Amino acid sequence: MRTDIINPVEWIQNHPGRDRIGTEYVNPSIPPGISTITKRFHRQIPGYRVSPLKGLDNLAAMLGLGGIWVKDESQRLALNSFKVLGGSFAIYRYLQSRLGAQGREMSFAELTSPETKAKIGHLTFAAATDGNHGRGVAWAARELGWKSIIYVHQATSPARIKAIEDYGAEVKIIPGTYDDAVRLVNFDAEKNGWQVISDTSWKGYEEIPAWVMQGYTTMFAEAQEELAGQGIVKPTHIFVQAGVGALAASLIGFYKGLFGSNAPVSAVVEPMKAACIFNSVKAGDGKPHYFEGELDTIMAGLACGDPSPIAWEILRDHADFFLSCPDYVAAKGMRVYGVPLRGDPFIVSGESGAVTLGALMYIMQNPELRTLKKLLNLGPDSQVLLLNTEGNTDPFYFRQVVWEGSEPVPEKYRAI
């Protein structure tokens, strides 16, 4: 298929998204009040700072929107990604369970104390990753005084591998895709007695991925506080990227828990070359499906073939729209963040971080997407929340896109 004829956005409206409020799948994974617990833990971490919420006022005006708000996770704990929030909280919960301390909160000092280490003994945390989750697990393990081993697939960039190794992890490169790495690390962990900290779930392994999803709610609670400072009760719309779906499910579950049927309209955005959730919705049988293909998208953090079952259940029942985008949409988002309109803040965004901005711009500007724009009810009163989930995590490819113009917008879809 020729790149210049791929539409910028394919979409599906999920009718159950508005109708199913408070089903069995939201509260167990994202229980009420969980963000209060996650914030108290994360705020103890040395170097913790609230990541900024940046308003793109001039771009919003150009697109005919009331506001565009970007939670900029490129500045999270110098790790260039939000993923550390989930990995660190999951490790915290796991240590609590090992110590029989589930009923009380533990301080960071207690977690890192010699007494705690003596009680637990030798421990190695393991994970499979496209880069950001593994770096977050490696960082959290090191900060808490434990070893880590991280599996990456063969297409993972050297820069992402080095970033993981810099936090003391042993890195193993395995043949195949991210999903192959997930399967192999789980197999090897059982043999070697490692503890897997995964952001995706499978049958019999749901608790830790739920803890990862809960850890992300710190970010959303921060965003709510920052929006309140601007006099905004809540966003009217949330655009959120998806790989296995954990982040998207966490965000949508968070807002469903706060606002129920008045939650923001949600759009889940995936790479066209790794659209496992989009294709699962399209199948129409209510089940998650594997995405067939090589997952060769520039959005490395979203290159996943298997949806996480616990995330899928939330998205299936509560997300409003599912979008699938070619790589040039993410590349355009990167360039717009990096070369903003005069007066708007500069944002460093990697490929996976920028696809939601690119999708939003096409929806607002491309006449072929006017039906979607109308169904989303996007207009002058809309306050749209985006998550810049990563910064420049692969400098070589970042320069290819931003400096050299890799993944150009097809002429048919260029702004006039």
Percentage of residues of the chain with pLDDT beyond 70: 96
Active site residue 130: yes
pLDDT band of residue 2 (cuts 50, 70, 90) is very low
Q: Where are the domains of the chain?
A: 3-81+209-413, 83-207
Q: Which class is domain 3-81+209-413? A: alpha beta
**Which residue in the block uniquely carries the two structure tokens 């959120």?**
240
pLDDT band of residue 18 (cuts 50, 70, 90) is low
Report the pLDDT value the prediction gives residue 16, as an integer from 0 to 100: 65
Per-residue model confidence as pLDDT tens digits over 322-333: 999 999 999 999
Percentage of residues of the chain with pLDDT beyond 90: 89
Q: Which of 303, 236, 316, 245 is nearest to 274 (CA)?
A: 303
Q: Which of 39, 54, 71, 130 is catalytic?
A: 130
Q: Which of 83, 256, 273, 332 is catalytic?
A: 83
DSSP assignment of 373-396, as one string? HHHHT-STT-EEEEEE-B-SS-HH
3-state secondary structure of 243: coil
DSSP tally for the chain: helices H, then strands E:
17, 11
Decide: 169 and 134 in contact? Cβ < 8 Å: yes
Per-residue model confidence as pLDDT tens digits over 6-17: 899 999 999 765
Q: What is the pTM of this model?
A: 0.95
Could you check whether 3-81+209-413 and 83-207 share the same CATH topology?
yes
**388 has a pLDDT exceeding 50:** yes
Q: In what order do the strands lie in the sheet with 265-271?
A: 10-13, 321-325, 265-271, 237-241, 383-388, 67-72, 53-55
The domain over range 83-207 is classified in CATH as 3.40.50.720: no
Report the pLDDT value the prediction gives residue 244, as an integer from 0 to 100: 97
Average pLDDT over residues 203-209: 96
Report the pLDDT value the prediction gives residue 136, as an integer from 0 to 100: 95
Average pLDDT over residues 357-384: 98
pLDDT band of residue 102 (cuts 50, 70, 90) is confident
3-state secondary structure of 148: strand
Decide: 383 and 232 in contact? Cβ < 8 Å: yes
Mean pLDDT, the chain, whole residue set: 94
